[in-house]
Amino acid sequence: MAITYSFNFKSYIFPLLLVLLSTHSSATSTSITDRFTQCLNNRADPSFPLNGQLYTPDNSSFPSVLQAYIRNLRFNESTTPKPILIITALHPSHIQAAVVCAKTHRLLMKTRSGGHDYEGLSYVTNSNQPFFVVDMFNLRSINVSIEDETAWVQAGATLGEVYYRIAEKSNSHAFPAGVCPTVGVGGHISGGGYGNLMRKYGLTVDNVVDAQLIDVNGKLLNRKSMGEDLFWAITGGGGVSFGVVVAYKIKLVRVPTTVTVFNVQRTSEQNLSTIAHRWIQVADKLDNDLFLRMTFNVINNTNGEKTIRGLFPTLYLGNSTVLVSLLNKDFPELGVEISDCIEMSWIESVLFYTNFPIGTSTTALLSRTPQRLNPFKIKSDYVKKHYFQTGIRIHI
Ligand SMILES: Cc1cc2nc3c(=O)[nH]c(=O)nc-3n(C[C@H](O)[C@H](O)[C@H](O)COP(=O)(O)OP(=O)(O)OC[C@H]3O[C@@H](n4cnc5c(N)ncnc54)[C@H](O)[C@@H]3O)c2cc1C
Ligand SMILES: *[C@@H]1O[C@H](CO)[C@@H](O)[C@H](O)[C@H]1NC(C)=O
Ligand SMILES: *[C@@H]1O[C@H](CO)[C@@H](O)[C@H](O)[C@H]1NC(C)=O
Ligand SMILES: *[C@@H]1O[C@H](CO)[C@@H](O)[C@H](O)[C@H]1NC(C)=O
Ligand SMILES: *[C@@H]1O[C@H](CO)[C@@H](O)[C@H](O)[C@H]1NC(C)=O
Ligand SMILES: *[C@@H]1O[C@H](CO)[C@@H](O)[C@H](O)[C@H]1NC(C)=O
Ligand SMILES: *[C@@H]1O[C@H](CO)[C@@H](O)[C@H](O)[C@H]1NC(C)=O
């Protein structure tokens, strides 16, 4: 199964919640909030009260709760539309109440897990409609079973936490998902997911076996009760178009106890053009145990002149001896030597790929603070055929 998707064009609202009155003014939104809050408290399961989990803009903690998972600083402006309420759900019944009350009160609902949406769609709206956010960060339990080679992972967990909990129990299991450890499970898996194990194990969603979903009627469903079509949709089609994912059951994959990484760099002066051409020809034909990425940036050379640098971050599921002989055969232009290679465990390679210095404790993967935050604009895509038919030219 290979599911393609696009990060930026997911619809992100329940169709049934779309109907909104354009006449709401800020003067009436206070009473909307009051009536909505009352509905939430009435609906909530008395054993899991909601008070203590509701943040309105007049609450002094509101800015910090909102900002805690803003991962694109373009949407951390005073002019960025703000929700009328944030619900920091502690229990699935809180989400069920939110869905049902949102329908009753015709309010736009946003769901945020890790907050890495490129366009901030989990906490911003482009319309002028009042909206609220269900924040999933408290729902982040991870139960790994090495016996079954599976794990149940709640949507608010981060990829770094998933990787850490797997490695805590086994040094020969892994999960094929994204490279950024602070990305959330909820948005990542529902949208597809790819990472440096994809050549061997496919997309993240190729390794998902079950899910818990709260649908538009507030019903809690699993794969069996939701049916294969809906399960297919929430494993690549963009989850929030269909409901709120509470948890996914993932299938672990096997990795050797020793893997090899390197990150060689080549500038324009070091035959980057030739190497890049060759990469395009061989990257998809190399051994499936080998993931060899190519990225570019502009740097100043030692003479202070601008030049282009190619970076080749690589993960090989095997040792350095085999890796170097493989590259000498299939990609000699890159000129990789044993001294470029570092052997380590898979979990250490996760840190390496995120640019943590060698020797960083794996507990760094449990940190929810990103290494850096920027304002950014990104578009990702999947290439289905070689589009560099005539090759590429490297110049500034
Ligand atoms: C720095 C960075 C690095 C990245 N690296 C990779 C990578 O290596 N590989 C890769 O594949 N992708 C990568 N991505 C993209 C990332 O996988 C997507 O942006 C993903 O949607 C983020 O998920 P999230 O939970 O963190 O984001 P959120 O902003 O919380 O959510 C993203 C979308 O999913 C919806 N959603 C969130 N939680 C749920 C839920 N529980 N149920 C239903 N819908 C939900 C949101 O409403 C929103 O529409 C990266 C993004 C960034 C910013
Ligand atoms: C803010 O909201 C939280 C969660 O509902 C609540 O516990 C806290 O008392 C509120 N703080 C203020 C100052 O209103
Ligand atoms: C987001 O904006 C607020 C308010 O201007 C600011 O205090 C905060 O530092 C910003 N967050 C980041 C990560 O820059
Ligand atoms: C993990 O197990 C605990 C204890 O049984 C349970 O409370 C939690 O909901 C489980 N998490 C998931 C994601 O299944
Ligand atoms: C660049 O490539 C040419 C032809 O393959 C080779 O002769 C030359 O040694 C390479 N230069 C460097 C710096 O690698
Ligand atoms: C390169 O040099 C220019 C000035 O010559 C400087 O402005 C720029 O910041 C430098 N870029 C990098 C990446 O160091
Ligand atoms: C490297 O791996 C190969 C294949 O698994 C094995 O035959 C070889 O002994 C290993 N070499 C070292 C130095 O561990």
> 163 pLDDT exceeds 50?
yes
Contact 315, 201 (CB under 8 A): no
- Per-residue pLDDT band for 392 (boundaries 50, 70, 90) equals low
- C-alpha–C-alpha distance, residues 300 and 41, integer Å: 59
In a domain, 370, yes or no: no
CATH label of the domain that carries residue 217: 3.30.465.10
In a domain, 227, yes or no: yes
Asked whether residue 32 falls in the same domain as residue 117, the answer is yes
159-248-15-29 Cα dihedral, nearest 10 degrees: -60
Cβ neighbours, 10 Å, residue 373: 13
Q: Give the atom of ligand 6 at the shortest distance from the alpha carbon of 299.
A: 13
Give the residue among 38, 132, 130, 34 at the shortest CA–CA distance from 85: 132
From 101, 117, 135, give the residue that closes a domain.
Answer: 135
Q: Which amino acid is at 356?
A: F
Q: Is 239 in the pocket of ligand 1 (CB under 6 A)?
A: yes
Q: Give the atom of ligand 5 at the shortest distance from the alpha carbon of 271.
A: 1
Q: Are strands 150-154 and 208-214 parallel, antiparallel or unpaired?
A: unpaired
Pocket test for ligand 5, best of 267, 271, 273, 275 (most atoms within 8 A of CB): 271
CATH label of the domain that carries residue 37: 3.30.43.10
Number of domains in the chain: 3
Find the domain containing 322 and state its range.
Answer: 259-344
C-alpha pair distances (Å), 29 with each of 22, 111, 129, 354, 373:
12, 20, 10, 43, 32
In a domain, 363, yes or no: no
pTM (two decimals): 0.91
- Per-residue pLDDT band for 286 (boundaries 50, 70, 90) equals very high
When mean pLDDT is compared across 4-8, 185-189, 284-288, the lowest value belongs to 4-8
In a domain, 355, yes or no: no
Residue identifier of the C-alpha nearest atom 5 of ligand 2: 52
- C-alpha–C-alpha distance, residues 125 and 12, integer Å: 10
> 175 pLDDT exceeds 60?
yes
Asked whether residue 22 falls in the same domain as residue 110, the answer is yes
Q: Give the atom of ligand 7 at the shortest distance from the alpha carbon of 320.
A: 1
Distance between start and end Cα atoms, the chain: 39
> 21 pLDDT exceeds 70?
no
Q: Ligand 5 centre from 271 Cα, in Å?
A: 6
- C-alpha–C-alpha distance, residues 17 and 139, integer Å: 24
From 224, 254, 284, give the residue that closes a domain.
Answer: 254
Q: Is 319 in the pocket of ligand 7 (CB under 6 A)?
A: yes
- C-alpha–C-alpha distance, residues 296 and 304, integer Å: 18
